[in-house]
Amino acid sequence: LTKKTILTFPLEQLYLHPSKTSPFIRHVVATLLGFYLALFCFGWYALHFLVQSGLAYGVMIFTGVEHMHKYCFVVTLGYLSFCQVTRAYVFDYGMYSADFTGPMMVITQKITSLAFEIHDGLMKREEHLKPSQKYLAVRKMPSLLEYLSYNCNFMGILAGPTCSYNDYIAFIEGRWYEPKHLESNGKENGKFKQSDPSPKVVWFHCSLAPSGDRLTFVLYLYISMLALRPKYYFVWTLADAINNAAGFGFNGYNADGTPKWDRISNLRILNIEFATSFKMFLDNWNIQTALWLKRVCYERCPYNPTAATFLLSAIWHGVYPGYYLTFITGIVVTMAARAVRHNVRQHFLGSATLKLIYDVITWFSTQMAICYTVVPFVLLAVGPSLKFYSSWYCCIHLICLLLVLVLPVKSRRTKQQEQPSSIHASEQNCLSSPDNNCRLLDPHTAL
């Protein structure tokens, strides 16, 4: 399959360059190749991609623009959940092993993002939009071909990642060399919470707690979770290479004139493995999903956006209860991390030695917090997950709750009033922005 995908790149570069062919032809070829790859991989289950896209497009056409984004969100996420339930609990036994709901998760991101972008472009006044929303706003309804090309193009049909509609259309029309709008740097005005902090579904049969002392237990947990990540590194790196080979990943030039190829990159491996904060880990894991969650949920939810974003991420991932245990734990860990950073970090910045000590402690704390949080995500079921947490005496839950209760933290509204919005030149340059391989998180989220 990888060979088949890579062999499409010479066709794209030699015969379908925007200087040599029309956007219509590029849309047609991208869509047909994408659906061919989907059929090759998933068989007739790939029809779900068209059904989901068709239902959402019907909602866009036949409902008013005022509420279209809400209806699209419910219909698209609902159909995804229906497919996840039937795959997991009805047709799982004896079904073709490839999970067709994986591409549907990316299509769900694209459809819901587009619905909100159309709503912003056709319903809201420009002065009421945030800088990033102005850049992303879609000013006209896409044609059916443009819509299907965006959802099912061969570059992203199998592993994503998601991208904005305006970026994709600019690429098809040959305008993607233009500088991209930058959202605010997470260190200055970031206000987002996570996608998934862990690899997705893996089931293994082993003892939840190895025999031996507590240090062995901690080391075993770290190595076990570390061993799960490489396959996701491979998939997302390959997806990045596919988009770059087609030219879609080009994102302008650095100050020294070297080209950047990170327009829709989805991870930064070294930043993940050496993360010294919960925020830094999440900043660099599944970046484009984080961007989607920020745009459709965190920025728009009027009440408790952090909890709402965690809940949406859990629903989007699937129906296994382990997902929800992970994200409930993630809410508590996030609040504690925010409190620690706000109250403790500044005391370790006085000297290089203190900073080094702080970095070592926070690296260890971050890795343990991530591993502890994502175990239910891996085990999927409630029983084994609770058995694991009980073997740890729920210690991280208790520590995080204590930190939240004891340490003061400014509210989100207060921070928004104190920090003016900042506009930058490209969405992918800032270290903590989810659109540029970093995630827009609250600046006080990290440990």
Reduced to 3 states (helix: H, G, I; strand: E, B; else coil), residue 424 is strand
317: annotated active-site residue: yes
Q: Which one of the listed residues 48, 69, 119, 317 is annotated catalytic?
A: 317
* Angstrom distances, CA of residue 343 to CA of 79, 112, 128, 179, 240: 44, 37, 34, 38, 38
Distance CA 27, CA 320 (A): 36
Amino acid at 63: T
Distance CA 291, CA 356 (A): 31
286: annotated active-site residue: yes
Q: What is the pLDDT of residue 6?
A: 52
Residue 353 host element (H or E): helix 352-379
Q: What is the pLDDT of residue 427?
A: 42
For residue 439, the Cα-to-chain-centroid distance in whole angstroms is: 9
According to DSSP, residue 259 is labeled B
Q: What is the pLDDT of residue 351?
A: 87
Phi, psi values for residue 71, rounded to 5°: -65, -40
Q: What is the pLDDT of residue 197?
A: 40
Question: 10 Å Cβ neighbour count for 55?
Answer: 16
Angular region, 419: left φ>0, alpha ψ -120 to 50, beta rest? beta
Contact 191, 299 (CB under 8 A): yes
Distance CA 352, CA 444 (A): 22
Question: 10 Å Cβ neighbour count for 215?
Answer: 8
Q: What is the pLDDT of residue 11?
A: 55
Distance CA 318, CA 219 (A): 29
Q: What is the pLDDT of residue 177?
A: 57
Q: Which one of the listed residues 286, 429, 436, 437 is annotated catalytic?
A: 286
**Positions of the chain with pLDDT lower than 70, given as ranges:** 1-16, 91-98, 176-212, 410-447
Which residues on neighbouring strands pair with residue 267, listed in sequence order? 285
Question: 10 Å Cβ neighbour count for 399?
Answer: 15
Q: What is the pTM of this model?
A: 0.81
